[in-house]
Chain A
């Protein structure tokens, strides 16, 4: 009931509709890639190298003759997987750290928060770069890296929520009834913390997708032959004289998806956080 009302309000916001459309299409395309992509994204067809956009290759072909559109479609998988997976991992880790820090306080809290401070002080791209250099460029490793980089803000937000919640009457009451800390955390604390986290998660997925694209652009992203949008841009700029159209489509895709997640996050914030309503 609550969820239905939230969703309806969300849809009222126009930009959220746009965002939902873009994201919806991207997700469906990513899932149905094997059926939607007209060509194999990996198989090289060198005689079609740098083929301009035509009825054969709608968005042109890259330097090894691979269809740009198909690679774009498969690239969506990588971007979404890493974006959503990475942030999901950050949320899980962040909840774990934030709740325990906020609940137990004391030395434990101090240590954890110093750790989070240290982690968040690192420039995220450099940290990700160094970690990928160590662990190698597989999708799983990059998800882990993105997750680690994104953990501190979740932890901090959750922790501050927990700190204020633990003094509330219902929590005190439940404690008085003898409930175990674990149960309290799971049933009472976490559900009430989630609203700001969800909002920020949407924005963080956007940041994660940008991070992955930057890593691929620098040449340290997911290993080939898996197509990634950033990697496609990297190769496209090499031949910008012969095939400028190749530089457009991956950049536009990154832009649209990141934009969509941003809109979605904004709309969520408007809906879930009543204080800010009315400033639109």
Chain B
């Protein structure tokens, strides 16, 4: 198993390189000249060619493209991620700060999705074909279909604009020092982000439980006279939780990548919004690094999920 894991990890390296190359090419292809943006204008209103050339040299934009790529990679490893062309601020601390938030949001939404999806799915499976089942199924299905930005804006309009119960968005709380504020500010974004996951988990749990219910050992347990609750918990759940957990962990990566819209709507200091803003402002160096970091985060999450999956299910063996 370890050999498989190591191989998987090694396989990620060429993918990572391809991703970095892709990001680099993408940003080079974007229409704008950062040197021009930085060079001021002189008395007659024209760009000073000497200053322009100097800035180009400083930014390393006068070298051949491949060399720029190499220098960029070397810089990443060294920890020198460059400075934004527009604000002049260092990219590394900004990205780390935003990534911390995005992971926080992703984890919270993930847990929320689990806590919402699994119980509802269980209830739905137990009371199969009842009104409750239909309601839950309807909710589950809607969760996947509803656009995040629409849901988010509607919630803001209802809870922040009309009722004034919750803040419009923004985030400056700390889980440990200002827990109440943290909950207030995280509530709506977490809910919006978790709807998709909760919906998927609901249906998965329901389907898995229904399948397990058909198994002969459940019939045996019931015939033995065990209480229904014990049947469900001790026998059914344990066996059906596995696919649910694996799907949930696989979804974590998607969640991290999908924070973009939620962060934009609620004005949250996350990496997704940071990259979107940078694309819209044509702050290309930030786009480059932000996109790379986010993609790597998603890849690592997926890898972690795979490991968890393998660890949990002894029936799976890879060679």
Contact = CB atoms under 8 A, between A and B. Distances in A.
Q: Do A and B belong to a common assembly? A: yes
Nearest to B261: A214
B15 A251 contact: no
- Chief secondary structure at chain B's binding surface: helix
Contacts of B148: 214
State the majority secondary structure of interface residues on A: helix
Given A121-B298, A122-B295, A134-B29, A218 B276 contact: yes
B161 A123 contact: no
Contact of B210 (A125, A247, A258, A279): A279
B299 interface: yes
Nearest to A203: B144
B279 interface: yes
B264 interface: yes
B19 A122 contact: yes
Interface residues of B, number: 48
A224 to B, nearest CB: 16
Interface string B135-161: 000000110111111100110010001
Interface string A227-252: 00010010001001100100100010
B26 A210 contact: no
B258 A125 contact: yes
Interface of B: 11, 14-16, 18-19, 22, 26-27, 29-31, 141-142, 144-150, 153-154, 157, 161, 207, 210-211, 256-258, 260-261, 264, 272, 275-276, 279-280, 282, 287, 291, 294-296, 298-299, 302
30 contacts: A114-B11, A114-B14, A118-B22, A121-B15, A122-B19, A122-B257, A122-B291, A123-B256, A125-B258, A126-B257, A126-B260, A126-B275, A129-B276, A130-B27, A134-B26, A134-B31, A213-B149, A214-B148, A217-B147, A217-B149, A218-B261, A218-B276, A219-B280, A237-B157, A247-B150, A247-B153, A254-B147, A255-B147, A259-B145, A279-B210
Interface of A: 114-115, 117-119, 121-127, 129-131, 133-134, 206, 210, 213-214, 217-220, 230, 233, 237, 240-241, 244, 247, 251, 254-255, 258-259, 262-263, 279
